[in-house]
Amino acid sequence: MARATDDVTAVDTDVAVVGSGGAGLMCVLHAMTADPGLDVTILSKGAVGRSGCTRMVQGGFNAVLDPADSLELHLRDTLEGGKYLNDQELAHTLVTDAPRVVNELETRVGCFFDRAPDGRIHQKAFAGQQFDRTVHRGDLTGIEIMGRLRDQMFRLGPRELEDVRALDLVRDADGELAGVTALDIRTGRALLARARVVVVATGGAATMYRIAAPAREKTGDGVAMCWRAGIPLRDMEMLQFHPTGLLAGESRLTGAVLEEGLRGAGAYLTNAAGERYMARYDAARMERSTRDVVSRAGYTEIMAGRGTPNGAVLIDISRLGAAEVERRFPGMVERTRQVGQDLARGPVEVSPTAHFHMGGVVIDRDCRTELPGLLVAGEDAGGTHGANRLGGNGVAESTVYGARAGDIAAAIAADRPLRTPDAEQVATSVAAAYAPLTRETGEAPFPVTGELKDAMWVGCGVVRDRAGLEECLQVVDELADRASRVAVAGPREVNFAWQEALDLRNQLTVARNVVESALLRTESRGAHYRADFPDQDDVAWSRYIVLRDGADPVVRDVEHTRVSPEVSA
């Protein structure tokens, strides 16, 4: 049986990148290009470049490329979508850097994006935007980006630790960042990566909901690690539900996104009676309204009994003709056919699905946190999207901020020495990881995970209220107590029950922060909808919530450094 005193394998590196999605691999590309002599180590919970969510991106990448478009318009769309809760400097950086990064992806990384007849990059319509600015490769944009970034890793040759999950950030005796502990999933051996710089880019935690879109390995690991290290988080109540997640019963495809481009191309949303219900919720924009509005509309229709017997609404783009749908959306057509439906020839059952976390670690525009040497990029970071993310701004954020993190990591690593991790911290981290294996008795983790998903879906889902949130918080705390006592049988090699227990710990950490923030925000804004406070209150709540382990919540005024909204009471 594994013991916490087992030897820990140590690796020394200049830059440890935790995660291998778009943010992680762009970080590696930029760091090793800035300084080819850097020793860079990737710690990836799955296969490098072939796991995580960037490769699942169907829709595309928002960037201002057309002379008729403008950075100012993209910024305003991003801020209006985020209901002006955004850190405007982060949003401005996203918008400003995006055109350069698209060009880099094509000319340096080798991506092939779709072209218009005149030879320019084709840009399609996405909801919530006043200009068609979404760059794409059919409806398989993420696979194109990640496949090409993966090719770059072969050229650059970073150290790749696949099937290795990060556990905790560790400091030295003086409290300075010294590295990260990890676990080799294949062997069950503990690892310690000493690093001058650690970049956290693991993705979000939407899998803590019953119906969820992300890759199953995305369980909030990065945010939970930063929380345990005392790093502040912001906007944790802002969890986006995508309005059109595929419903497929017990299949793992349930929750998989049918992307925004369908609605941009003219798909209709109807209830079971065939009514285009968006007329009741946003008659001006209809299906092209923002994700928060369309998600609530679908949820309301289902809860009002106007959904299908399976608890769904319907999306239908078949009026374009089967051949056209198959040409433009081959990935989604194939996905629906796998579960016995056919997007090209008729309506498909969909439901709101937990999709993306706008909240996360507090960073600046260079991905720096308050802990020197620790950078955070991608969905682990908060502030860029405010209360709601526009479709197409997600992969843009990953690659833009991954690139910036790589540039900054190289600069920091040139001057920052390796430090010796505090031995007690390392031992505590490893002991906590091995604890489920050492217990002789205790329940399995899987039922606890299931109860967490149900509790979050019902109590802290698309529509919230105080009673539901308070009950959810109580359930989360009870589940956390049970999770602290789960037991799994050996062996430690490739033990999925053990990995489930470690995932559960992180999901519960993130879930509690989401619920606590949702209770504090007594208004409705973007993805956060309170049925007991249904209006947006700009006078009292043009503010964001910051949480830190062991400290009381702090509410700070949003600084409108670029664009000022019209204030409504």
Whole-number pLDDT of residue 566: 75
| Cis peptide bond upstream of 491, omega within 30 | yes
pLDDT tens readout for residues 478-516:
999 999 999 999 899 999 999 999 999 999 999 999 999
Tell me the pLDDT band of 410, cut-offs 50, 70 and 90. very high
Asked whether the predicted pLDDT for residue 5 surpasses 50, the reply is no
Does residue 448 surpass a pLDDT of 70?
yes
Is 165 a residue of the active site? no
Three-state secondary structure call for residue 282: coil
- What does pTM read for this prediction? 0.94
* Distances in whole angstroms, Cα of residue 226 to Cα of each of 31, 145, 351: 22, 28, 32
Angle at 124 between CA 123 and CA 130, to 5 degrees: 100
Catalytic residue (one of 242, 355, 492, 512): 242
Mean pLDDT across the chain: 94
Query: Nearest-CA neighbor of 461 among 392, 399, 511?
Result: 511
Q: Mean of the pLDDT values across residues 160-177? A: 98
Q: What is the mean pLDDT of residues 233-237?
A: 98
CATH class assigned to 430-550: mainly alpha
Dihedral of the CA atoms 223, 225, 228, 232 (nearest 10)? Answer: -40
- Residues 457-477 have pLDDT tens digits of 999 999 999 999 999 999 999
What is the gyration radius of the CA atoms in the chain, in angstroms? 22
Cα separation, 376 vs 408, in Å, equals 11
Question: DSSP secondary-structure letter at 218?
Answer: -
Active-site residue among 92, 136, 148, 263?
A: 263
> What is the predicted pLDDT for the residue at 499?
97
Please name the amino acid found at residue 40. V
Measure the N-to-C terminal CA separation of the chain; round to a whole number of Å.
61
Residue-range domain boundaries for the chain? 239-353, 430-550
Measuring CA to CA, how many Å separate 22 from each of 145, 243, 384, 492? 8, 23, 16, 30
239-353: CATH topology is Flavocytochrome C3; Chain A, domain 1 (3.90.700)
pLDDT surpasses 50 at 382? yes
Measured CA to CA, the distance from residue 280 to residue 370 in angstroms comes to 45
Q: What's the pLDDT at 292?
A: 87
Is 242 a known active-site residue?
Answer: yes
Structure confidence by residue, pLDDT tens digits, 327-340: 999 989 998 999 99
